[in-house]
Amino acid sequence: MLKLLEDFRSRFGSSARIYRAPGRVNLIGEHTDYNDGFVMPAAIEFYCWVAAAPRADRKLVIHSENYNETVEANLESIVTAGNRHWANYPLGVAQALQGGGKRLKGANLLIHGEVPLGAGLSSSAAIEVAVGFALLEQSGLATDRLELARLCQKAENEFVGARVGIMDQFVSCHGRAAHALVLDCRSLEYKLVKLPAGIQLVICNTMVKHEIGGGEYNRRRAECEEGVRKLQTVLPHIRALRDVTIAQLEEHRGLLAPKVYSRCRHVVTENDRVQSAVRAFESGDIRALGPLLGESHRSLRDDYDVSCRELDTMVDIAGAQRGVIGARMTGGGFGGCTINLVEAGAVEGFKKSVAAEYRSRTGLQPEIYVSPASNGAQEVEVIPDSGAS
Ligand code: GLA
């Protein structure tokens, strides 16, 4: 990251401190976070990096290396940078932090994101959390990670306009090397599960992102909310699909439109699968994860209808490879990536044959990433003589 410091100096004429926050991959528990349910993500070794130094005034000057563009804002009156503009993420976070009572100081920021964009690996949470962390530290304010995650989610909900759940921001703040997090999205309590040493997280990027994704995401949320409203007429104690058992859902199926029933069934069964996956990790019964990941994928494909041909093809190919414990789509869906649990010794062969077969079946060249689980947001010491890069 010496390069980022050098770039910062030539652009802003001063030294800087460096912060980073990771993207994530979700092992299981998809579309459950906004239903008060359970998720099991891990932070990955792809980061958004932010170099930052204070300013004497109350301006933010933010340059993105990815977009080669600079945006300025006045902390007294932050306004949107325009529809779908990258700067809405950092600006939204500044706004949310101030709205949360944090008095920020002016700062120059240089941003370099290395989480693949639009791949379902949470490049947006990474930029939000990295910028939020940097702004708090630069302003001399204590960083409460839970509060930071909540405010970053608020920024994305209200400033960017995507009704995402808390999973991505939470794991970008709380990730732990070599571990996945099991998060209860209602209480926001979490525990760590150790990932077995002989298993690697292999992420296959389909290289497609279907445009319908954003609108469909909000529509799925609305369908879940409709399910809750209907079920509340007979189950007044429920607050979210988290509170519904599969037996209750079947009993009252008649109250729900068929599509809404299917959406609810995905969420209810997926929450159960997360609990089963936790037991599998904790008891060391790694093989049990295979069927759970497979059922999760089918449920997302058939009941929740958020998969696509390319994701199904990628999962199908992975399932036939040697040394694969399990495979499924990961993240919001409609393209993006799959997560594959692969025995360490089989990873090289897996990469080669999955890439070749995916190419021949779709005409697309996939990207395949192998990433250990990483730590959440942090400041990074750059020691000029160490040869760190
Ligand atoms: C996106 C959202 C998350 C979560 C997933 C689906 O990544 O940002 O909050 O809802 O989709 O599990």
227 lines ligand 1 (CB under 6 A): no
Residue type, 90: P
The per-residue pLDDT for range 352-368, each reduced to its tens digit, is 999 999 999 999 999 99
Q: Torsion angle of alpha carbons 203, 350, 176, 105, nearest 10°? A: -40
Please check the confidence at residue 112 and state whether its pLDDT lies above 70.
Answer: yes
pLDDT bin (cut points 50, 70, 90) of residue 211 is confident
Cβ distance 233 to 275 under 8 Å?
A: no
User: CA Rg, the chain, in Å?
Assistant: 21
Unique residue bearing structure tokens 């192998």: 370
**Ligand 1 closest atom vs CA 120:** 7
Query: Does residue 263 surpass a pLDDT of 70?
Result: yes
Give the pLDDT of residue 213.
61
Each as own residue / partner, the long-range contacts of residues 283-287 (CB below 8 Å, 24 or more positions apart, any chain) are 284/196, 286/196, 286/199, 286/325, 286/341, 287/325
- The Cα–Cα gap between 88 and 156 comes to 9
**Which band of pLDDT confidence, cut at 50, 70 and 90, is reported for residue 372?**
very high
Exposed, middle or buried: residue 98 (CB in 10 Å: 0-12, 13-18, 19+)?
Answer: middle
Pairing relationship of beta strands 367-370 and 199-209 according to DSSP bridges: antiparallel
Cα 118 to middle of ligand 1, angstroms: 13
| Strands, E assignment, the chain | 17-26, 38-39, 41-54, 59-64, 69-74, 107-113, 179-184, 190-194, 199-209, 324-329, 335-343, 367-370, 378-380
Rounded average pLDDT over 310-325: 98
Atom of ligand 1 nearest to the CA of 162: 8
63, 11 in Cβ contact below 8 A?
yes
Q: How far apart are CA 360 and CA 160, in angstroms?
A: 38
Active-site option among 168, 243, 303, 305: 168
What's the rounded Cα separation, in Å, for the pair 241 and 231?
Answer: 9
State if residue 165 touches ligand 1 by the CB under 6 angstroms criterion: yes
Distance 156 CA to ligand 1 centre (A): 12
Residue 383: per-residue pLDDT: 78
- pLDDT band of 234, cuts 50, 70, 90: very high
Q: Which of 25, 28, 31, 223 is the best mutation target for the ligand 1 pocket, counting ligand atoms within 8 Å of the beta carbon and taking the most?
A: 31
Ligand 1: which residue has its CA nearest to atom 5? 332
Query: 168 CA to middle of ligand 1, Å?
Result: 7
pLDDT at position 212, please? 65
Question: How far, in Å, is the centroid of ligand 1 from the Cα of 215?
Answer: 13
pLDDT at 305: 98
Q: Provide, rounded to the nearest whole percent, the portion of the chain with pLDDT above 90.
A: 95
Return the structure tokens found at 1: 């990251």
Q: What is the pLDDT of residue 385?
A: 59
**Tens digits of residue pLDDT in 267-284:** 999 999 999 999 999 999
Q: Quote the ligand 1 centre to 8 CA distance (angstroms).
A: 33
Instruction: Name the pLDDT band for 200 (thresholds 50, 70, 90).
Output: very high
Active site residue 144: no
Nearest of 50, 74, 81, 76 to residue 64 by alpha carbon: 50
What are the tens digits of pLDDT across the range 62-94?
999 999 999 999 999 999 999 999 999 999 999
Q: From atom 2 of ligand 1, which residue's Cα is the shortest distance away?
A: 164
The answer, yes or no, to whether residue 388 has pLDDT greater than 90, is: no
Nearest C-alpha neighbor of 104 from the set 64, 47, 151: 151
How many degrees, rounded to 5, is the angle at CA 62 between CA 80 and CA 170? 75
User: Is the Cβ atom of 179 under 6 angstroms away from ligand 1?
Assistant: no
Confidence of residue 45 (pLDDT cuts 50, 70, 90): very high
CB of 336 sitting under 6 A from ligand 1: no
Residue 321 CA to residue 305 CA, distance in Å, equals 25
Closest residue by Cα to atom 8, ligand 1, is: 164
- Predicted pLDDT of residue 387: 46
Show the tokens assigned to 234. 């007979």
User: What whole-number distance in Å separates Cα of residue 71 and Cα of residue 63?
Assistant: 6
Residue 109 has pLDDT above 60, yes or no: yes
Ligand 1 pocket: which of 24, 32, 33 to mutate (most atoms <8 Å of CB)? Answer: 33
Nearest-atom number in ligand 1 for the CA of 39 is 12
pLDDT range class, residue 210, cuts 50, 70, 90 = confident
φ, ψ of residue 203 to 5 degrees: the values are -115, 120
Mean pLDDT for the stretch of residues 19-33:
98
| Buried b or exposed e, range 194-226, using 16+ CB within 10 angstroms | ebbeebbbbbbbbbbbeeebeebbeebbebbeb
Distance from the CA of 30 to the center of ligand 1, in angstroms? 7
